[in-house]
Copies of this chain bind each other. A is one copy, B any other.
């Protein structure tokens, strides 16, 4: 397997394209990881959530790690890992502009979010549970891509022709 770093520009294109990953946060040296949808812009990503463990932990410790990948097989994958800082975008005049931007991008990216919000409004008779918008500021980002090397290609070909002997 040949693994190489990919340039930042390629990482950014993938983050924009995929918009889905796993976010890990930490509290008292314990970790917690969950899937998230997001909208990426250079240097930050926007997300949304209802109140829960993830938001509670990030409010206490804003340092997070996000992993985004495209995996075709064990020898053919791309993975991006970024370290960032959580910032909540509350519904206040100070945050209006950034909150609007987050909402606009998320709506554009995820039509279903609008749908889910509308459904929630109807369910709760115009009193939907509050949606928390947030921003993850990207401090550091690395991307790696793996492709099969010539030896693996040969072994994979052979193992298809004649399965490797099992030990049991």
Residues of A within 8 A of B (CB): 1, 22-35, 37, 61, 63-67, 69, 71, 73-75, 77, 79, 81, 83, 104, 107-108, 110-116, 118-119, 122-123, 149, 151-152, 155-156, 159, 163-164, 166-168
Given contacts A22-B22, A35-B79, A115-B159, are A65 and B149 in contact (CB under 8 A)?
no
Residues of B within 8 A of A22 (CB): 22, 24, 33, 67
Closest to A164 in B: B114
Residues of B within 8 A of A71 (CB): 35
* Nearest chain B CB to A97 CB, angstrom units: 14
* Nearest chain B CB to A147 CB, angstrom units: 13
* Nearest chain B CB to A67 CB, angstrom units: 4
Known: A30-B65, A31-B33, A108-B166. 16 other contacts (CB 8 A): A22-B22, A22-B67, A23-B33, A29-B29, A29-B61, A30-B63, A31-B31, A31-B32, A31-B64, A35-B79, A74-B116, A104-B167, A108-B168, A115-B164, A119-B151, A122-B151
How many copies the complex holds: the figure is 2
Residues of B within 8 A of A159 (CB): 111, 115
Given contacts A24-B24, A116-B75, A167-B104, are A34 and B67 in contact (CB under 8 A)?
yes
* Nearest chain B CB to A144 CB, angstrom units: 10
Query: Complex: how many Å from CA A64 to CA B164?
Result: 34
Residues of B within 8 A of A37 (CB): 74
